Amino acid sequence: MTNIFSTEERGGIAGNLAYAVVAQGIGLLSSILTSLVLPKFLGVEDYAYWQLFLLYSSYSGFALLGLNDGIYLRLGGKRYSEVNHGELKAQQCVVAASQLLVAACCLAAVLAAGFEPYRSLVLALCVFFGLLTNLTQCLRYVFQCTNLTRISSLADLFSKGLFVAFMMTVLLAGVDSSLPFILGYIACQALAFLYVLICARSTLRSKAAFKGVLRTCAADVRAGLKVMVAYYADSLIVGFTRMLTDWQLGLTAFGKLSLSFSLTNFVLGFIGQVSMVAFPVLKRLDAEGRREKYLAIRLLLHTALPCAYLLYVPAKLVLGLWLPAYSKSLVYLALTMPLCVYSCKANLLFNTYLKMGRREGTLCTVNVAAMILNAVLALASIVGLASVELATCGIVASVALRDLAFELIISRRFGNPVVHFCVSEALISAGFMTASWFLGAWSWPVVLLMLVAYLWCDRDGVRLVITGARKRLGRG
């Protein structure tokens, strides 16, 4: 049995992916409980506060200024034994000092803002959770980029698995307040931090080499800042609309809209785990190998992802029975599922390949442009027209245009066709949104016919995907 604290590479990509899948399975269970069970037992307002905590704490990484991403890019492809542990320890000391300072400033700002008491408490807990997360992430990124992704996956497994056990215990005790769940979530993150610290013992035991550490930190920030801005610009495409809903339409409307977005995060979380495992392996390939993998993954996603649209009607019917208080807001799933499809493609394909090519500036520019476009559409929709529906359509339009931009940029290097793929994906997404919004449950046969036509138009690609799958299964 593999020592869970070992920093030796074992199992290869299959082993790392197995850890990632198990961790994501526990994460999926945690997400199901928080997205489907919590709103069943908490009131609408308490569930909205839980979502508020998750939303604002998710932006705590801003305080790192991309330093963790810079470490990831600088050390990517190396083995853990090749890392300068003295330099890394000094860098982690600088990170810890800076994060404590930022947390103190944020906490002072929250206390001085004059929010209602419970909102102030939730935001203060966001600050504390963000401090723990940032300290954990800097070490986790070292393990991820040195092909020790199982350590990162196990940290997720511990935090999410313990939280699942905690949540079930608290729910069985009949607790109907969001505060115990927030405190339990923070405690589980603290245990994950402790696990990562133990795994990083060789770094922590080393003598800190502070000479030149500020220059190294500055270089990592310069490299990682673009990736950080790209990531949070991507996140804010949805996040800004959710914040604007809270500010303009109230906490209840925010909570109901957040339910649909939280459901789409299931798949995005799994894709993030796969991308994490794939990055160090793909980076070790030569140029031709990267091109072949890119074209294969792209074709698979183009063929398979739109099939997810068939899940909308069954999901809406089942969730409507389970969460009658949210039955009307579940219609937003018809608008958020295309967001899930486009985001899966971006996270697994475009983000990974642009990072490997050290094109963080391109990634940043495109994501910021999409964020700005969506911000304009969200302001017009929510502030001007008080329409969450139009704002959600604006999100999908923004990510679809971003997808086109990424396709055009990468096609210059790999020479792959773009127009047919992008147009067909946009047409089936728009058709799904229209049919699902206006026809409700009766949209399923219409969407099925559209999907059959979509796959028939690209039947050559479908045959290639099936042939490739058969070869892999035969080899296994």
- Could you read off the pLDDT tens digit of each residue along the chain, which spans 476 residues? 457 877 777 766 667 777 777 877 787 788 778 877 888 888 888 988 998 999 999 899 989 998 988 888 888 778 888 888 888 899 999 999 999 999 999 999 999 988 899 999 999 999 999 999 999 988 888 888 887 888 888 888 889 899 999 999 999 998 889 999 999 999 999 999 999 999 888 888 888 888 888 999 999 998 888 878 877 888 888 889 888 988 888 887 788 778 777 777 666 666 665 665 666 666 666 677 777 777 888 888 888 888 889 988 998 888 888 888 777 778 888 888 898 889 888 887 888 778 777 777 888 889 899 999 999 999 999 988 888 889 989 999 999 999 999 988 888 887 777 888 889 999 999 999 999 988 888 899 999 999 999 989 888 777 877 777 676 665 54
What local confidence, expressed as pLDDT, does residue 1 receive? 42
DSSP string for 349-386? IIHHHHHHTT-HHHHHHHHHHHHHHHHHHHIIIIIIT-
Q: Is residue 17 part of a domain?
A: yes
Domain end call among 189, 211, 233: 211
Same domain (yes/no): 442, 311: yes
Judge if 151 and 205 occupy the same domain.
yes
Q: Do residues 324 and 197 share a domain?
A: no
DSSP state, 36? I
Q: Domain check: are 268 and 160 in the same one?
A: no
Tell me if 1 is assigned to some domain: no
Residue 457 amino acid letter = C
Query: What is the torsional sign of CA 242, 248, 252, 257?
Result: negative
Domain count, the chain: 2
On whether residue 71 sits in a domain, the answer given is: yes
* Token representation of residue 260: 């649909």
Instruction: Please check whether residues 245 and 367 belong to one and the same domain.
Output: yes
Shared domain check, 454 and 347: yes
Answer yes or no: do 191 and 232 share one domain: no
Q: Does some domain include residue 113?
A: yes
Write the DSSP assignment of 49-118 as a string of letters: HHHHHHHHHTTGGGGGTTHHHHHHHHHTT--GGGS-HHHHHHHHHHHHHHHHHHHHHHHHHHHHTT--HH
**Nearest CA among 32, 409, 61, 105 for reference residue 235:** 61
Domain residues for 61?
7-211
Check residue 270 and give its pLDDT: 61
**Residue 127's Cα: distance from chain center in Å?**
20
Please write down the long-range contacts of 151-154, taking CB distance under 8 Å and 24 or more positions apart: 151/7, 151/196, 151/199, 152/276, 153/16, 153/19, 153/20, 153/22, 153/23, 153/24, 153/273, 154/4, 154/19, 154/23, 154/195
- Give pTM, 2 decimals: 0.79
Per-residue pLDDT, 114: 84
Task: Look at residue 446 and tell me if it is in a domain.
Answer: yes
Number of neighbouring beta carbons within 10 Å of residue 151 = 26
In a domain, residue 217? The reply is no
> Which of these three, 183, 211, 239, is where a domain ends?
211
Residue 228 sits in the same domain as residue 204:
no
- Considering the domain architecture, whether residues 320 and 429 belong to the same structural domain is answered as yes
173 SS3 class: coil
At residue 223, the pLDDT reads 85
Residues 321 and 186 in one domain: no
Tell me which H or E stretch contains 423.
helix 419-439
**Which of 211, 235, 250 represents a domain boundary (last residue)?**
211
Residues 368 and 264 in one domain: yes
**Integer Cα distance of 212 and 214 in angstroms:** 6
Q: What is the pLDDT of residue 124?
A: 95
Q: Are residues 316 and 429 in the same domain?
A: yes
* Cβ 30 vs Cβ 171: under 8 Å: no
Inside any domain, residue 216: no
The verdict on residue 2 lying in a domain is no
